[in-house]
Structure 1
Amino acid sequence: MTLDLSVYLVTDPGAAASRGRRVVDVVAAAATAGVTAVQVREKDADAADFLSTVLDVAAVLPERVSLFVNDRVDVFLAARARGARVTGVHVGQADLPPAVVRELVGPDAVIGLSAATPDELRDAQADPGRVDYVGIGVLRATATKSDAPPPLGLAAFSRLAATTRLPAVAIGGVTVDDVGPLRVAGAAGAAVSSAVCAADDPADAARRLAAAWAGAA
């Protein structure tokens, strides 16, 4: 399967619950309407509940949509052991080092790494095969990540993305109006959370995001 990171949904259980939905309901709706990758993020869940959510999401995703586990390599490995179709893991600078993650998940899993500085991006691509893509952010102020760095803005994102050979996904406060300019600026994808999870209609939100990405081609 070709890796398509263009419309990348990062789940937010709190935002979903505020609309009376489960994470799997949001994902199922968005996946039929243009989302190309999903990262399950469960910052406050225990391992068993996290695994349960990953398995539920994997069961509703079309084969064309990649599935990533945020931070928890153990949950990724457990999901894979249960037969779930999980693509890889996405880790941050304070998580296990990518080299260690690669040893644990094997050569075929896709590894994403959050990066926000030239040094972090240089380190990410220093060892070929260790990291497959980077998430650069935050683009704009966001309430979904309490430890987010200062917002970059589009121009700074573009400059950072130009310094790496790795596919770069913009993340953090991304809206539908950002998607086209991000593609023009060199992004491999736009990662959204509240824009879909807190939307009145997650499928319609995903559809508009996908249309904005396609329209900037």
Structure 2
Amino acid sequence: MSTLSLPNHLMPLLMHIEPLLVPAELYQLGETVNVSVNNSNSWVQIKTATSECSVAFNFVAVEDDCVLPTYQVRDQWLAPFDELEVLQHKVVADTSLVLCGYPADDGCIDIWHHQGQTRAIHCHHSGASEAQRAMLLVALALDYPLDDALVLARAHARSYQDNNYRAQGELIWPTTAKVFPRALTINHPEVKQLGWLGEGESVAPFADLELCKLGLYPVVDSADWVERILQLGVTTTQLRIKNPQTSDLESQIEQAVAAGAAAHAQVFINDYWALAIKHCAYGIHLGQEDLNSANLVAIQQAGLRLGISTHGYYEILRALEYQPSYIALGHIFATSTKDMPSLPQGVNRLALYQKLIGERVPTVAIGGINIERAAKVWRTGVTGVAVVSAITKAENPAAAVAELRNILVATIENEAGGACDDHQL
């Protein structure tokens, strides 16, 4: 069980917090949250199964403060306002500083610290302030990282104001795309107008992939496996070689690209974008950290498709700004094939992510998906299901591929009530 302890002066937030816990429990988005009021502390105290944090709103430190809150949230603003560039430098220098609702032209901006840099979201409507605070605290208590908690908070503030929620028991969790903010990146159409300092250069949308070939999406660690998978009739796969020092790295990429071209299949190369361009690969798959270092313009101009990994709300919004060929959603279940900085998302969070993205970009679920879990993952509406160990560690990979394809086909037929001739899995 998680705990959320409010100081006495924030008791009015209870009327907003308690209704949010109903859909959180219904959607099974995290452990049960026990809410209490603590008169002995001026900060919000949050404890989950994996972490503890404290939150203070508009906190003013004094000389004898020896312990500071984890997050100092500033959400009340009076003119004159600092330039956005100045605020970025302040947030970079102070890991605890979180700026919410900073007034900008035609909207507001939320800014926070992330690994030595600043991240931000922009919304044309700030929404209701108390609803924003409440969702921020609830999301943190549900073990969402700060990035995602801020996204949910801004979406809920907008949704609350738009819909004027008053009905008891009404589900008020934000789910529709129109209430969510946008990640402030170099590709944001108003980034220069807002004065946000971003790295890199804007990039045009990436080429579309063939949806009819996306469904079962094996991720394998060698070119030999790529060839083997394609011979089994798979039409989309990814070569993921973790060690960049692998002696035959380039030859493996060349071999995988050639195999994909011969089979008229969609073969994505993980990480090694320069080699993928050199050998005219079909596509490249990048992680979030790679978006800061890869030459996205070169990838786009070379005509390669782009897939981007995401692990929650903020990263989804960030990926959408680049208009990739698909977005990977993960990791859904615990996995041993890759060290993950985030917690498993679970099927219920996956379903909400899919609803947010809708049909804007194809999606691929990944992480710990096996034969037993494939059907319920597929039912969330994702476009593809990525598997690793379910095939590469199977006693009979051919049988595993056949069974997984049958599961996806059967699920589509059951949902549609008929055949699915437009899907090739």
TM bracket, shorter-chain basis: 0.7 to 0.9
How many residue pairs were aligned? 199
- Matches of 1:95 and 1:102 in 2, distance apart? 10
Match of 1:105?
299
What is the CA-CA distance between 1:59 and the residue it aligns to? 3.3
Cα distance change, pair 207–91 in 1 and its aligned pair in 2 (3 A): same
Match of 1:20?
none
Match for residue 349 of structure 2 among 152, 156, 177? 156
Bigger drift between 206-215 and 61-70 goes to 61-70
Q: Alignment partner of 1:125: what SS?
A: helix
Structure-to-structure mapping, 1:41-190, within 5 angstroms: 41-46=240-245, 49-61=248-260, 63-80=263-280, 86-97=281-292, 101-107=295-301, 108-127=303-322, 130-164=323-357, 165-190=360-385
* TM-score of the pair, normalised by structure 2: 0.44
Cα distance change, pair 201–101 in 1 and its aligned pair in 2 (3 A): farther
Match for residue 9 of structure 1 among 214, 218, 239? 218
Is 1:37 the counterpart of 2:236? The answer is: yes
Amino acid paired to 1:154 = V
Match of 1:198?
393
What is the CA-CA distance between 1:71 and the residue it aligns to? 1.1
Q: Alignment partner of 2:268: what SS?
A: strand
* TM-score of the pair, normalised by structure 1: 0.83
Max radius of gyration: which structure? 2
Amino acid paired to 1:90 = H
Contact 2:217 2:387 in 1 (8 A): yes
What is the CA-CA distance between 1:166 and the residue it aligns to? 1.6
Amino acid paired to 2:272 = R
- Matches of 1:135 and 1:166 in 2, distance apart? 10
What is the CA-CA distance between 1:148 and the residue it aligns to? 4.7
Q: What is the CA RMSD across the aligned residues, in angstroms? A: 2.1
What is the CA-CA distance between 1:184 and the residue it aligns to? 1.5
Amino acid paired to 1:9 = P
- Matches of 1:211 and 1:28 in 2, distance apart? 21
- Matches of 1:111 and 1:31 in 2, distance apart? 20
- Matches of 1:168 and 1:88 in 2, distance apart? 15
Match of 2:163?
none
Contact 1:182 1:190 in 2 (8 A): yes
- Matches of 1:140 and 1:34 in 2, distance apart? 26
What is the CA-CA distance between 1:24 and the residue it aligns to? 3.5
Bigger drift between 46-55 and 71-80 goes to 46-55
Report Cα offsets for 1:157-198 as digits up to 9, x if no partner.
111111112211110111122222222211111101111111
Structure 2 unaligned residues grouped into runs of 5+: 1-208, 413-425
Amino acid paired to 1:212 = I
Contact 1:140 1:151 in 2 (8 A): yes
Q: Alignment partner of 1:121: what SS?
A: helix
Amino acid paired to 1:103 = V
Report Cα offsets for 1:126-151 as digits up to 9, x if no partner.
24xx4111111101111110135211
What is the CA-CA distance between 1:34 and the residue it aligns to? 4.0
Cα distance change, pair 202–28 in 1 and its aligned pair in 2 (3 A): farther
Contact 2:223 2:239 in 1 (8 A): no
Q: Alignment partner of 1:10: what SS?
A: strand
What is the CA-CA distance between 1:103 and the residue it aligns to? 0.7
Amino acid paired to 2:394 = A
Identity fraction in percent: 28
What is the CA-CA distance between 1:48 and the residue it aligns to? 5.7
Structure 1 unaligned residues grouped into runs of 5+: 13-22, 81-85
Is 1:26 the counterpart of 2:220? The answer is: no
